[in-house]
Structure 1
């Protein structure tokens, strides 16, 4: 059986066609191919080939912490990047503590954005058979909260503490498993509950329904509007998110619990990033290909893609500016502005 990496590479190769029709070869790293970041870069490979810009060799199923560092170091051309990662890198903390502040800041300066999107919305879900009534039922439980290293794990721990006050290791037991084993881990009983990134509808939840009905819990409204969460929403790459339950796209087998038929949570935003040394024309051409194919390629790839904020430039949604250290690549700025969009000066 082929690995997720190999499957993604085959998908990308099928999408981009022959190198004879393109001007060069680029490399890209992203998350699992059925996630927003995974689909985003696979779609970019198709759009770039269609425009004759480049063949993009995509490696999917990666831990984005490593992928972002690879782009900063010039080892990879493009990567999906939740914006919390460049921020942590710029300070040499969290998963980048081994770099130190000075080296981390230097590396973070090497990153530039082509375009942005909502990576996911962090949230809680459980099998109905687990008999967990919501966030208040997590004490002493085992929670699968992401891969061993990355933004998802950091965000899950922070969200759980904000809503429940519980710390991993004392209030609950955390389980970390790489994304390639996510659905298997959800189904095999390794954890009682799951605090994971979600799309709407979420493919991991849909796949896991084979093992039983699932309930998704909104973040409580009072916590979402409270002071502690307002501080979280000011972190780079995090914005407040709400959506009517009726628009989440779930069918039979999934129940969404909310006080007022509105799902709430922290949205993780990011984008596809390149090294600042990518030449102007290539960055511009890639961004133009993205803009021209948002609806025809990106939105057509999965049922959740039309609502992932591809094509948005408002900093209230993109989180470009503020404490986020990221800027658009000059070539990307030119592409956006030629297409009639307005970018905030603080993001250029």
Structure 2
């Protein structure tokens, strides 16, 4: 009886040691139901068996960045690099919440960018922003895409020259198909589900921007490849807001290395399940404005992937 009890105790100790050996990571991305929350779940599922990832819902990137000052070395979050830069410099929404711990944020790898789409019914013969004059355009409310769309309307001389539809973006596809609107603006990683739906059910076109227009927006240039959407025979030049997965210096190098390697090793498989991962390439590392985690840098050096000198 004593031998059996001893064996049971030994087994429990071995199980506990095995459980403790597993590295635990918390990944905070976006609101449940959003594309970025779905991406977080996909990333969690792509990690090797030695990494246990818990996905947490977030109210947005500002919250993600703020929590970097109080979370431990197991914390991974997503954010635009520009927002991390504002936090590090104590500017804008971080002016009254400055913390020296923002300087400890380190990049791991890029994820799909928020990409601007200007979707127009094909029968409206719109190919430029100027052609939108007199058209009905749905921008939505409160989102990055809505704010950016409103900015572009003013930037390209369309203030007061377009009819801004008073409706939620969730109604955009139905409204476009029914002829209630002529165009809608949306931001999402391409291929964006609502644009896929719009293109599949009716003839639509996407406005392609000139390099001067992209420069005027002060956003990052991005090309949506031809064939991304039904009927899209040519590439579309647009703007984007890069997004990156971050950790802090509190994360050990081995964990940062394992997370980064697992992402790039599994990226092709991720893309076969969700095409928005196909838009992520090593070239997107150029959008990182802060430093890359030493563990991630080790992977990039081994893989022969070039990283910005300022990020090393």
> Shorter-chain TM-score category?
0.7 to 0.9
Q: Distance in 1 between matches of 2:102 and 2:166?
A: 29
Kindly indicate whether the alpha-carbon contact (under 8 Å) linking 1:71 and 1:275 is maintained by their aligned counterparts in 2. Answer: yes
Q: Distance in 1 between matches of 2:87 and 2:194?
A: 29
Kindly indicate whether the alpha-carbon contact (under 8 Å) linking 1:148 and 1:176 is maintained by their aligned counterparts in 2. Answer: no
TM-score, normalised on structure 1?
0.66
Residue number in structure 2 paired with 1:205? 195
TM-score, normalised on structure 2?
0.73
Matched positions, count: 288
Kindly indicate whether the alpha-carbon contact (under 8 Å) linking 2:120 and 2:184 is maintained by their aligned counterparts in 1. Answer: yes
Secondary structure in 1 aligned to 2:196? helix
Kindly indicate whether the alpha-carbon contact (under 8 Å) linking 1:74 and 1:275 is maintained by their aligned counterparts in 2. Answer: no
Q: CA RMSD in A?
A: 3.8
Residue number in structure 1 paired with 2:61? 64
Q: Distance in 2 between matches of 1:199 and 1:105?
A: 31
Residue number in structure 1 paired with 2:254? 281
Structure 1: stretches of 5+ with no match in the other structure? 1-18
Q: Given the superposition, is the C-alpha separation of residues 103 and 304 from structure 1 closer, same or farther in structure 2, using an over 3 Å criterion?
A: closer
Q: State whether structure 2 residue 158 is matched by structure 1 residue 166.
A: yes
Residue number in structure 1 paired with 2:214? 229
- Match runs of 1:1-348 below 5 Å: 22-30=22-30, 35=35, 37-48=36-47, 50-59=48-57, 62-74=59-71, 77-90=75-88, 96=93, 99-100=94-95, 103-104=97-98, 106=100, 108-127=102-121, 131=124, 133=126, 135=129, 136-138=131-133, 141-145=136-140, 148=142, 150=144, 152-162=145-155, 164-167=156-159, 173=164, 182-184=169-171, 186-187=173-174, 193-208=183-198, 212-220=201-209, 224-226=210-212, 229-232=214-217, 235=218, 238-245=219-226, 247-248=227-228, 250-251=229-230, 255-256=231-232, 261-296=234-269, 298-306=270-278, 308-310=279-281, 312=282, 314=283, 317-320=284-287, 324=289, 326-348=290-312
String of CA shifts for 1:43-83, please: whole Å, max 9, x gaps: 321122x33122322437x5334333334553992222222
Kindly indicate whether the alpha-carbon contact (under 8 Å) linking 1:175 and 1:191 is maintained by their aligned counterparts in 2. Answer: no
Residue number in structure 2 paired with 1:16? none
Q: Distance in 2 between matches of 1:288 and 1:294?
A: 10
